[in-house]
Amino acid sequence: MQQFKDNDSLSEIDEFSQNDCRIFSAFQYLMSNINLQEFSRMLNKAKTKGVKPLDLFRIVFIQPFVDLDNVHQLMRSGLNQNVKCGKDTIYRFLNNLAIPGRKIHQSSFVQVIKLVNNYRRTMDSSTNPTTPACFILDDTLLPKTGKAIEKIGMVYGHISSTNKLGIKELVSGLWDSSMFLPIDFSLHHEPRKGQSRGMRKKDIEKHYSKSTSAHSSSYGRLKELNVSKIEVGIKMLLRFLKLHVECGYVFADSWFTCHKLMQAVKDLSKTFKRDFDYIGLIKMNINSRLS
């Protein structure tokens, strides 16, 4: 895990940001070529009444590209004139447990990486990455302040070496030396904390809770809360390999480096007939041997 989160060098970002035409051209290319109808088929099963789900998805999809962090900022910006619904409609859409978020995320990842590769072919070949792509696994702490948040608990922060109120997030992504594309994520409790999650009984009783059908797409996320990050990380790698995206390495920090993960990388490399290896720091007291 990165010990210092501040970035000292932003020269590449600054150089790109100063070229407004380059940013607009890349964004215009993305929006005109991405197939939103593919998402429509997934969304229509989750929402059948009211505002069309694809229209709501477009609103949510474009927010990060126009520097809007949430719905509140969207409704207070000049773009709200183009939004034909209220904020509550958008919030209900985001909270719809039937929406297959993981499938939509992975579908968008596949589309974007294909578009990026096609876009690169039209640019100067010297700017294209020359190193193999890396599948990255990393976790981070999501600190919170509200004790009534659903499934919240005390988790250990490796940087501060203290327990904080929040939840752990496991993220996987693809890095090809020029860009990072997120692939998947999962949320996790601290396994040492048990059922109480390090909180008092009266605080747990105040937690927000909502019944979730075992057939809904969100049920899998809830089940992952108490599953080892190593196990979930291996499943993320398996799903990634099924997308048939080129990858040369699996990279993670010392916390993830263990026999189970390294053996899984070796086995999956053979199963999918892909030539990739594991890169990561190793703990000094580890005693592991791959078969």
Percent of the chain clearing pLDDT 70 (strictly above): 83
Q: How many residues does the chain have?
A: 291
pLDDT at residue 30 greater than cutoff 80:
no
pTM: 0.81
Burial classification of residue 175, based on how many CB atoms lie within 10 Å of its CB (0-12 exposed, 13-18 middle, 19 or more buried):
middle
Of the listed ranges 1-10, 173-182, 196-205, 222-231, the least confidently predicted one is 1-10
pLDDT at residue 152 greater than cutoff 50:
yes
Which band of pLDDT confidence, cut at 50, 70 and 90, is reported for residue 262?
very high
Under 8 Å between Cβ of 152 and 166: yes
Of the listed ranges 19-28, 112-121, 165-174, 263-272, the least confidently predicted one is 19-28
Give the angle subtended at the CA of 167 by the CAs of 166 and 172, to the nearest 5°: 140
Mean pLDDT of 196-214: 84
Give pLDDT tens digits for 79-97.
777 788 889 999 999 988 8
Q: What is the pLDDT of residue 118?
A: 81
Give pLDDT tens digits for 99-108.
898 999 999 8
Of the listed ranges 8-12, 48-52, 88-92, the least confidently predicted one is 8-12
